[in-house]
Amino acid sequence: MIKQLFSIPIDERFTWLWLLIAGIFLISFLIQLIFLLRFFNKIPAFRKLNEKTETDPISVIICVRNQAENLKHLLPTVLNQIYPDFEIIVVNDGSTDETEEVLDDFKRQYPNLYVTGIEGKRGYISGKKVALTLGIKAAKNDQLVFTDADCEPLSPHWLNHIQSNFLQKTDIILGYGGYKSRKGFLNKWIRTDTVYIAMKYLSFAIKGNPYMGVGRNLAYRRSLFFEKKGFASHLHITAGDDELFVNENATRYNTAIEIHPESHTMSEPKNTWKQWLSHKRKQLKSNSKYKKSHKRIFNLEVLSRLLFLITGITLLVLWKLAGFIIIFILIREVAFSIIFKLSMKRLKEKNLLLISLIYDLIWPLISSVLVFRNKFASKTSKWQ
């Protein structure tokens, strides 16, 4: 049996075909190993080299639309941050629920809360970019921190940790924004997806090639925003206010990351697969607007993972080089599991290792379908 597993018959018909498939499998395996061991493994060993000791004034910007209930829980966690000098700017983007009344109540209690807004509906695609721009214009301070209305900091020292990275040449700070743990497979799937994305964008930033950030926990300078003309180049795209701005303007010299556990934020996860898939479609649409160098890198990673899966299964079904195929698959999956587990531990996530193996195999197929659907989808103006 073992001899059959590792036999290499070369006198059969169609030998050239399965040898070609085996060659594609091997190349895909090597590409995957390079990505895992060189690019995606930086979070576990990350240590901050420099940290600012003095504190500067900060403006926290939150855009909301029909988020009355979330604001009741979110705003106290931000307003009660232990930080000497900060303001909170909430942009009410045409809410039709009790958002305005909730904000009025908080304004009476907190003098550092400023509320501005946009009335009515907008007739063009921009997502929340117009609201964000309004909030940035209203900010008094150069150092801006962003989060969402359904998102709350895990610590009253959140601002301290984020702001400590604003060194003289630092313009952009990438934080970790996770999702709250709830019962069910969907919740674990969403949290696994979030850790996997963080494992990539934070590792690339550590390596000196930042390409995205998440608006749930992001900071950058007001001066950079206006110097680079804000969202002008992608105002016509519904999503991507956070990641596309970072993709255009982040460099190895002006970007830092912050992953201290007290710097994390947590959001409410999507409740249905339909909501999550809709969110991922918008995210993939934003990905298509990345710099060409970044698109090439990540298209190669997804394609190599897809080919690794397809050719590996094909060779096992044909029972060609089965022993070698099994060993290579095990090597790749063990490497992925170790890196994912260490990254998950550093980001204070739990109980996701098993589902990460399923996600790792299936996500290339799902993303391919979603990208295909995006090509034939009509434009939407839904607010993000």
pLDDT number for residue 340: 96
d(CA 359, CA 53): 41
Structural domains of the chain ordered from first start:
58-187+198-271 (3.90.550.10)
Q: From 7, 4, 6, 19, select the one nearest 315 (Cα to Cα).
A: 19
Phi, then psi, of 123 in degrees rounded to 5: -100, 25
Cβ–Cβ < 8 Å for 132, 45? no
Q: From 330, 331, 325, select the one nearest 311 (Cα to Cα).
A: 325
d(CA 163, CA 20): 53
d(CA 196, CA 10): 40
d(CA 138, CA 146): 14
Amino acid (1-letter code) at residue 354: L
Phi, then psi, of 83 in degrees rounded to 5: -155, 135
pLDDT number for residue 127: 63
Q: Find the helix or strand (DSSP H, E) in which 116 lies.
A: strand 113-118
pLDDT number for residue 185: 95
d(CA 156, CA 175): 15
d(CA 32, CA 35): 5
Does residue 152 sit in helix, strand or coil? strand
Classify strands 218-221 and 172-175 as parallel, antiparallel or unpaired: antiparallel
d(CA 132, CA 241): 8
What tokens appear for 96 in the block? 């039709």
- pLDDT tens, N- to C-terminus, the chain (384 residues): 555 555 666 556 667 788 899 999 999 999 999 999 999 999 999 998 888 888 999 999 999 988 898 898 889 999 999 999 999 999 998 888 898 999 999 999 999 999 998 765 554 445 688 899 999 999 999 999 999 988 999 999 999 999 999 998 999 999 999 999 999 999 999 999 999 999 999 999 999 999 999 999 999 999 999 999 988 887 777 777 888 999 999 999 999 999 999 999 999 899 999 999 988 888 888 888 888 999 999 899 989 999 999 999 998 888 777 888 999 999 999 999 999 999 999 999 999 999 999 999 888 888 888 888 877 765 544 545
Taking each helix axis from N to C end, the angle separating 15-34 and 292-318, rounded to the nearest 10 degrees, works out to 140
∠ CA 235-167-115, nearest 5°, is: 45
Q: Find the helix or strand (DSSP H, E) in which 244 lies.
A: helix 243-249
Provide DSSP, 29-98. HHHHHHIIIIIS--STT---S----S---EEEEEEESS-HHHHHHHHHHHHT---SSEEEEEEEES--SS
Q: Find the helix or strand (DSSP H, E) in which 71 lies.
A: helix 68-79
CA 180 from chain centre, in angstroms, equals 15
Strand order in the sheet with 177-179: 151-153, 265-267, 177-179
Q: What is the pTM of this model?
A: 0.89
d(CA 67, CA 100): 10
